Amino acid sequence: MKVFGAAAAHAGIQYETVEYDIGGDRYLATGEVLPDSVLEELRGFDAIYLGAIGHPDVKPGILEKGILLKVRFELDLYINLRPVKLYPGVPTPLKDKGPEEIDFIIVRENTEGLYAGIGGFLKRGTRDEVAIQEMINTYKGVERCVRYAYELTQKRNKENTLTLCDKANVLTYAHDLWRRVFDEVGEDYPDIKKEYAFVDATTMWMVKNPEWFDVVVTCNMFGDIITDLGAMIQGGMGVAASGNLNPESVAMFEPIHGSAPRYTGKNQINPIAAIGAAGMMLDHLGHEDAAAKVETSISDLLASGKIKDLGAGRMGYTTEEVGDLIAEGL
């Protein structure tokens, strides 16, 4: 928020913030995850900036379902936007690949698919147990996600290529819908080149030839998986930012990494992904120039070689100092 504030000040942007203590600490203290009253208040904001909410003493799934998924579904944040960009000076595990080759965006459908929570158990806890998890795909949900991806590809104006990542050869109902909608909507964008890649092939090409990708659109579960691979090829979780968007309404921005309790209060965490998410928030709010300055300042700092390592406690600077350097670079 220090960098966000500095960028806003440079651009003459007026803004107000409200802070909420939603997360693991509040849940342990009160038993509340995300009260409905808070959710209603969130609907009235222009943007939501999400910090690390995890806690080692909270059972896995409680915070994820009760906060992250609840906000996404209740506020209908149907796009998860994940830039995969290798900054200059950041090492990648991919041989002979650099910033020119690793620069694409993944558009993930964010409210349907296997994450819709439809399913159940029969004879749970017995040897006859049956567990069912259903993949929900609606025409409306697929169409608006695919259309957003086409619009983004057109706006990005890089290679003008949109790739559909699916598994239509096996998921012959769900992803047949995705292919039909992809082709149908694509008729409105004749200038955009359309590509198709099965998800297993997508993971191979992201490693072997990431330069083939410009914008990738995919379903909820596949997007969850390939965006983590994207984070690794761009240098790690410490530089990977994301946005959860409803283009007609509120949006939520966050680094893709979770919390790291062992570093709490030590001023050692790498803040670059969180700062990148703040830059994405500026862009969403209509301040493209301010967002571009944040992106440039991050890139310049990493290219300078001042940051020795992106790992917590190994940067050569404290968390606050890294924020200061980026704010000063604006």
The mean per-residue pLDDT over the stretch 32-38 comes to: 95
Residue 290 lies in a domain: yes
Structure tokens at 180: 């039909």
Claim to verify: residue 51 and residue 173 sit in the same structural domain: no
pLDDT at 36 > cutoff 90: yes
Confidence of residue 82 (pLDDT cuts 50, 70, 90): very high
pLDDT of the residue at 261:
86
For the chain, the domain total comes to 2
Residue 181 lies in a domain: yes
Claim to verify: residue 102 and residue 172 sit in the same structural domain: yes
pLDDT of the residue at 96:
95
Strand 48-49 with 215-218, pairing: unpaired
Are residues 284 and 245 in contact, defined by beta-carbon separation less than 8 angstroms? Answer: yes
Claim to verify: residue 102 and residue 190 sit in the same structural domain: yes
Claim to verify: residue 23 and residue 63 sit in the same structural domain: yes
pLDDT at 249 > cutoff 90: no
Picking from 207, 234, 261, the residue at the C-terminal end of a domain is 234
pLDDT of the residue at 230:
97
pLDDT of the residue at 28:
95
Rg of the chain over Cα atoms, rounded to whole angstroms, equals 20
Per cent of the chain over pLDDT 70 is: 100
Cα separations in angstroms, 165 against 206, 244, 252: 12, 19, 24
CATH number at residue 36: 3.40.718.10
For the stretch 96-150, pLDDT in tens is: 999 999 999 999 999 999 998 899 999 999 999 999 999 999 999 999 999 999 9
pLDDT of the residue at 322:
97
Claim to verify: residue 30 and residue 61 sit in the same structural domain: yes
Residue 244 lies in a domain: no
The angle, 0 to 180 degrees and rounded to 10, between the axes of the packed helices 2-11 and 319-328 is 10
Claim to verify: residue 16 and residue 63 sit in the same structural domain: yes
Claim to verify: residue 99 and residue 53 sit in the same structural domain: no
Picking from 234, 259, 285, the residue at the C-terminal end of a domain is 234
Claim to verify: residue 102 and residue 223 sit in the same structural domain: yes
Are residues 277 and 298 in contact, defined by beta-carbon separation less than 8 angstroms? Answer: no
Residue 239 lies in a domain: no
Gap between the Cα atoms of 115 and 226, Å rounded: 16
pLDDT of the residue at 159:
87
The mean per-residue pLDDT over the stretch 198-205 comes to: 98
What is the residue-wise DSSP string for 61-117?
Answer: THHIIIIIIHHHHHTT--EEEEEEEPPTT---SSTT--TTTSEEEEEEE-SSBGGG-
Confidence of residue 206 (pLDDT cuts 50, 70, 90): very high
pLDDT of the residue at 199:
98
Claim to verify: residue 32 and residue 163 sit in the same structural domain: no
pTM for the model stands at 0.94
Residue 240 lies in a domain: no
Residue 193 structural domain: 92-234
Mean pLDDT of the chain: 95
Residue 99 lies in a domain: yes
Claim to verify: residue 141 and residue 206 sit in the same structural domain: yes
Residue 87 lies in a domain: no
Residue 85 lies in a domain: no
Confidence of residue 43 (pLDDT cuts 50, 70, 90): very high
Claim to verify: residue 70 and residue 102 sit in the same structural domain: no
Q: Provide the annotated active-site residues.
A: 115, 167, 200, 224, 228
pLDDT at 264 > cutoff 90: no
pLDDT of the residue at 258:
80
The mean per-residue pLDDT over the stretch 191-214 comes to: 98
Claim to verify: residue 74 and residue 148 sit in the same structural domain: no
For the stretch 303-327, pLDDT in tens is: 999 998 998 999 999 999 999 999 9
Are residues 81 and 105 in contact, defined by beta-carbon separation less than 8 angstroms? Answer: yes
Are residues 226 and 199 in contact, defined by beta-carbon separation less than 8 angstroms? Answer: yes
